[in-house]
Amino acid sequence: MPANATASALSDPAWMRRLLIATALTFLGLFLLLPLVAVFAEALRRGVFAYWVALVEEDALAAIKLTLIVAVIAVPANLVFGVAASWCVTKFDFRGKNLLITLIDLPFSVSPVISGLIYVLLFGLSGLLGPYLKSEGIQIIFAVPGLVLATIFVTFPFVARELIPLMQEQGSEEEEAALVLGASGWQTFWRVTLPNIKWGLLYGVLLCNARAMGEFGAVSVVSGHIRGYTNTMPLHVEILYNEYNFVAAFAVASVLAMLALVTLVAKTALEWRFGAELAATRHK
């Protein structure tokens, strides 16, 4: 780095920078990298073959499939909801807007266990709607619909929380201009709003997806833990661990970790590929 009087006056001394970087890296290494490596090390302790056998085991495959099904339903649902909510909150003025924002945040402040219990209280046999649903032969909790509902609830705010500040910052002038020029509501949304928010939206969806696949507490309450049927990957990891089946437990955990890594890589790749565009929309 060239010695520049203004720059050095404006920046911290070199030792401070190094110290900060070292601290950050140590933290990352200790709390992120090391556990991640440990997961893979444990999973591969008995070799690649044992790892593979653990993954293609019937219940493990069922858990992976179920996790993907839950995410595939919950994430798009929250995508639609998130866009609609942030559109409504940032482009319009109405009474009770703050209340709505607070409500959107609710799943973040409520413990996931409570989120699960809400559904047991609603759809359980001794709950509000349970007896009716049972008589109709509809199973919500202790089945896939309950898992999806609980996941939607806990991942509710991710997309909206990502979009609201972005859209607030962008304001509604462009939309107003589009309307003045004769665009319809849909046209305005597709041609003006969506291109402006797509990166924030993508980021929100990725976060939402990561949480949807990794959620433990809420789904644990509504799952009923029927092996091969209502165990998502995080629940299956716990079961395997409790059965002294450590290689399998860590093997499934490593798949979860890999799904998270893929998500991250996808995000980075998109940012790299469309970096310029991203910067342009962010600093509008």
Partner 1 sequence: MSFRRRLSILAAGLTLAWLGVAAADAQDTLLNVSYDPTRELYVDFNQAFAKKWQSETGKKLTVKQSHGGSGKQARSVIDGLDADVVTLALGYDIDAIADSGLLAKDWQARLPNNSSPYTSTIVFLVRKGNPKAIKDWNDLVKPGVSVITPNPKTSGGARWNYLAAWAYALDKNGNDEAKAKEFVGQLFKNVPVLDSGARGATVTFTQRELGDVLLAWENEAYLSLQEFGADKFEIVVPSLSILAEPPVAVVDTVVDRKGTRKVAEAYLQFLYTREGQEIAAKNFYRPRSPELASQYAGRFANVKLVTIDQTFGGWRPTQEKHFADGGVFDQIYQKGR
Q: Give the Å distances, CA to CA, from 130 to 76, 94, 140, 153, 175.
A: 27, 36, 9, 19, 45
Taking CB under 8 A as the criterion, the residue among 51, 123, 153, 156 binding partner 1 is 123
Task: By CB under 8 A, tell whether 43 contacts partner 1.
Answer: no
Which one of residues 18, 45, 65, 273 is an interface residue with partner 1 (CB under 8 A)?
Answer: 65
Task: Determine the interface stretch with partner 1 among 38-46, 135-143, 250-258, 259-267 (rule: CB under 8 A).
Answer: 135-143
Using CA of residue 80, residue 149, residue 233, residue 57, what is the dihedral sign? negative
- Name which of 95, 74, 88, 58 is nearest 207 in CA terms: 74
274 binding partner 1? (CB under 8 A): no
* Residue 47: burial class (beta carbons within 10 Å; 0-12, 13-18, 19+): exposed
Binding segment toward partner 1, per CB under 8 A, in 63-71, 96-104, 169-177, 257-265: 63-71
Q: What angle do CA 120, 100, 128 make, to 5 degrees?
A: 20
Nearer to partner 1, 120 or 167 (CB): 120
Query: Does 22 interact with partner 1 (rule: CB under 8 A)?
Result: no
Q: Please check whether residue 163 is in contact with residue 86, taking contact to mean a CB–CB distance below 8 angstroms.
A: yes
Q: Is 244 in the site for partner 1 (CB under 8 A)?
A: yes
Is residue 69 involved in binding partner 1 (CB under 8 A)? yes
Q: Measured between alpha carbons, how far is 169 from 86 in angstroms, rounded to an integer?
A: 12
Nearer to partner 1 among residue 101 and residue 189 (C-beta):
189
| Closest CB to partner 1 among residues 106, 265 | 265
Sites for partner 1 among residues 177-206 (CB under 8 A): 190, 198, 202
Structure tokens at 252: 């499934």
C-beta of 105 vs 127, nearer to partner 1: 127
What does the alpha-carbon distance between residue 219 and residue 155 come to, in Å, rounded to a whole number?
A: 12
Applying CB under 8 A, does 243 fall inside the site for partner 1?
yes
8 A C-beta contact, residue 219 and residue 145: no
- 241 scored as a contact of partner 1 (CB under 8 A): yes
Site for partner 1 in 75-104 (CB under 8 A): 76-77, 79-80
User: Binding segment for partner 1 among 4-12, 47-55, 123-131, 169-177 (CB under 8 A)?
Assistant: 123-131
Residue 189 DSSP class: I
Q: Does 247 bind partner 1 (CB under 8 A)?
A: no
Question: What is the C-alpha separation between 105 and 31, in angstroms, rounded?
Answer: 27
Give the separation between CA 69 and CA 213, rounded to whole angstroms.
Answer: 10
Query: What part of residues 137-176 is at the interface with partner 1 (CB under 8 A)?
Result: 139, 141-144, 148
Least separation in angstroms between residue 178's CB and partner 1 is 18
* Angle CA 114–117–121, to nearest 5: 135
Give the residues lining the site for partner 1 (CB under 8 A). Answer: 65-66, 69, 72-73, 76-77, 79-80, 120, 123-127, 130, 134, 139, 141-144, 148, 190, 198, 202, 224-229, 239, 241-244
